């Protein structure tokens, strides 16, 4: 799964530079007592964080977003003050807990604020053709077939909210009605045509006819071809010359990709599965990516620009194919680190190192969850075929930052082991806990495997992939500790899709940037040097056999893969700018440019300094790990919130 998501990490020093000299030594002593960030230079980096709202929940993505009322419930839930949150996060993970322990550069670290504003972090998708996705055109393409007419503007307003509600229930088979009758108040052919068009456009799968009832005209909506019609929008109204898929660029702010898809599908009144995309993008950011949707016109999509907040759609085109996960080349990042404390020389050294050497390709902290039960532990229990442990790890009470209703659900489960009683404590049923409880209610406590299977497949596989990532992180740290940043005999390199060992006489032909390491699975080659034995030892300690990673349930058989040890970002550039107001943007977005917004004039000698950096990364690479290498700091929420508590005192 492609991952560019990146949680907010604030790495703050005092706002006034006049106070830095006096305060630094005091804070250094306090922080040294509390926590140290391991790095090659031996420096302890003082950092603090304000816990953002999107970091306080367990990081387990749902395949579908919550219904509106559930979203409102979550939004209204109180998370407490920063200090209480920091206390709860004492039970979370640090980087060293998941094997992230090494740096590749020798520069001295410095601090800054990452994602003080979500607009300080911008991601542009890079397609398989190498083209960077940008939103720069709102126009709607004109069809070659002039006989086909897109819905008029009136189409979107002719139906009342009550009509739309009844039609949606009919469309989704949520009631026992076989049809819905809509009275035609203004009985003209033009008015009837608009209503027919509105129903068919807004509710794929429904057909309409006109009937006389008691001297009045009614438009009758009914299902054209049963439930299959819902997944296959009407074909006869789509021009043959037009590609079946409308591709568009989605610009979104502070929303993750699946949430955005669910919002679009609700407004269009279609199922989310008619949308496709190449990769998921972060929530707390501005992201720009390509989306494809089956048989929805560009005009209908463009209409959403008038009614959606924090979304913009544009660059429409019709094509004959959907998009597939993983088809992209990577992502281009534009990142602002505010209130930096590094000297110009430190910054230059750090950025030159990032460009020339790169960073260790660790799996970032968001891969492992934020609570006291890491996702890799659940993955390990699945691989061990220990299903009681899987159930216990997901449902048992745990210390740490969680929503109140989850705490109550876990307490009920611990007390009664009754899935129905625990489920009643959950107003939000689509979380992983709710899905597992529904499965236990359906299949019984003796069939945990089937109950667990109710959880969407991607979410289930996330657990075992988390375990793979945990092993890989630990092994790459050990590899760098043993052999440093050079290729050695026994290392693996990829030739095409095949992994081969570097022989003694060929070492000089390769660098560390060529070396890959395997993720444990049943179809990978392990290194000939001592790291191969380290893999075996780690898995033996977890009661797993590295030579037999096939699971009796096919989904949970770990297929292996290879991952580069060091990633060298492409298109790296940077600039240090001065500013006075922390709320002002420091660069223009695609939307700013379309709307003609000028970049604020920045002072030449402002109170604060910011590091603006740009770089491109391949898929499945964590931008957090690149920024970690620049700043030399621990990116875990636990570390940052503990330092925050120290500073608040």
Cα torsion through 504, 509, 511, 516, rounded to 10 = -70
Q: Which residues contact 123 (CB under 8 A, 6 or more apart)?
A: 4, 281, 282, 285, 286, 287, 288, 289, 331, 332, 333
Q: Which residues contact 595 (CB under 8 A, 6 or more apart)?
A: none
In angstroms, what CA-CA distances link 543 with 536, 538, 555?
A: 10, 9, 20
What are the catalytic residues? Answer: 282
Q: Taking CA 68 as the corner, what is the angle to CA 462 and CA 438, rounded to the nearest 5 degrees?
A: 50
228 conformational bin, left if phi > 0, alpha if psi -120 to 50, beta if neither: alpha
Please state, in angstroms and rounded to a whole number, the distance separating the CA atoms of residues 359 and 238. Answer: 49
Q: What would the DSSP string read from start to end of 171-198?
A: HTT-SS-SEEEEE-SS--HHHHHHHHHH
Please state, in angstroms and rounded to a whole number, the distance separating the CA atoms of residues 398 and 395. Answer: 9
- In this structure, what are the phi and psi dihedrals at residue 458, rounded to the nearest 5 degrees? -60, -40
- Residue 467's H or E segment, with its range, is helix 457-483
Radius of gyration of the chain (CA): 27
Tokens of 372: 């006291």
Q: What would the DSSP string read from start to end of 557-576?
A: ----EEEESEE--EEEEEEE
Please state, in angstroms and rounded to a whole number, the distance separating the CA atoms of residues 102 and 359. Answer: 10
């Amino acid at each position: 799964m492609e991952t560019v998501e990146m949680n907010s990490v604030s790495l703050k020093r005092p706002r006034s530079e006049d106070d830095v000299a006096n305060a630094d030594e005091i804070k250094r002593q306090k922080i040294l007592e509390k926590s140290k960030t391991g790095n090659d230079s031996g420096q302890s980096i003082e950092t603090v964080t304000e816990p953002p709202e999107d970091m306080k929940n367990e990081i387990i993505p749902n395949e579908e977003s919550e219904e509106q009322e559930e979203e409102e419930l979550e939004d209204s839930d109180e998370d407490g003050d920063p200090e209480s949150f920091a206390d709860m996060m004492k039970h979370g993970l640090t980087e060293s807990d998941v094997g992230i322990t090494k740096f590749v550069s020798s520069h001295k670290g410095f601090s800054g604020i990452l994602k003080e504003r979500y607009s300080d972090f911008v991601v542009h998708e890079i397609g398989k053709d190498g083209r960077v996705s940008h939103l720069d055109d709102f126009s709607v393409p004109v069809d070659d077939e002039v006989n086909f007419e897109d819905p008029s503007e009136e189409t979107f307003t002719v139906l009342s909210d009550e009509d739309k509600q009844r039609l949606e229930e009919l469309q989704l088979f949520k009631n026992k009605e076989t049809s819905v009758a809509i009275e035609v108040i203004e009985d003209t052919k033009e008015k009837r045509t608009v209503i027919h068009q509105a129903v068919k456009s807004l509710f794929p799968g429904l057909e309409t006819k006109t009937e006389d009832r008691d001297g009045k005209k009614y438009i009758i909506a009914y299902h054209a071809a049963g439930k299959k019609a819902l997944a296959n929008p009407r074909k006869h109204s789509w021009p043959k010359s037009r590609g079946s898929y409308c591709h568009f660029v989605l610009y979104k702010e502070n929303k993750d990709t699946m949430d955005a898809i669910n919002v679009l599908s609700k407004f269009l009144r279609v199922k989310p599965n008619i949308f496709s995309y190449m990769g998921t993008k972060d929530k707390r950011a501005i992201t720009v990516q390509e989306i494809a949707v089956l048989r929805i016109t560009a005009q209908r999509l463009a209409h959403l620009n008038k009614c959606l907040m924090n979304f913009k759609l544009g660059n429409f085109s019709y094509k004959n194919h959907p998009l597939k996960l993983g088809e992209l080349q990577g992502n281009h990042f534009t990142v602002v680190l505010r209130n930096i404390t590094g000297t110009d020389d430190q910054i230059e050294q750090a950025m030159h190192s990032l460009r020339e050497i790169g960073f260790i390709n660790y799996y970032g902290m968001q891969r492992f969850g934020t609570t006291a039960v890491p996702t890799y532990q659940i993955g390990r229990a699945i691989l061990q075929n220990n299903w009681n442990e899987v159930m216990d790890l997901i449902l048992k009470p745990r210390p740490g930052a969680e929503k109140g209703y989850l705490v109550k659900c876990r307490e009920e489960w611990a007390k009664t082991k009754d899935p129905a009683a625990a489920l009643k404590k959950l107003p939000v049923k689509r979380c992983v806990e709710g899905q597992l409880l529904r499965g236990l209610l359906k299949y019984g406590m003796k069939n945990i495997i089937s109950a667990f299977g109710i959880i969407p497949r991607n979410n289930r596989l996330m657990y075992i992939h988390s375990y793979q990532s945990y092993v890989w992180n630990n092994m790459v740290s050990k590899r760098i500790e043993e052999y440093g940043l050079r290729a050695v005999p026994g290392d693996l390199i990829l030739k095409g899709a095949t992994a081969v060992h570097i022989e003694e006489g060929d070492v000089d032909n390769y660098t560390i940037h060529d070396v890959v390491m395997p993720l444990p699975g049943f179809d990978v080659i392990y290194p000939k040097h001592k790291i191969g034995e380290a893999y075996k030892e780690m898995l033996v300690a977890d009661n797993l056999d590295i030579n037999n990673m096939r699971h009796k349930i096919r989904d949970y058989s770990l297929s292996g893969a290879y991952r580069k040890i060091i990633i060298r970002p492409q298109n790296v550039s940077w600039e240090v700018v001065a500013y006075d107001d922390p709320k002002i943007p420091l660069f223009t977005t695609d939307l700013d440019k379309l709307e003609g917004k000028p970049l604020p004039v920045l002072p030449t000698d402002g109170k604060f300094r910011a590091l603006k950096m740009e770089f491109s990364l391949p898929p499945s690479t964590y931008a957090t790990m690149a920024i970690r290498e620049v700043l030399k700091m621990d990116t875990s929420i636990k570390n940052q919130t503990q330092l925050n508590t120290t500073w608040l005192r």
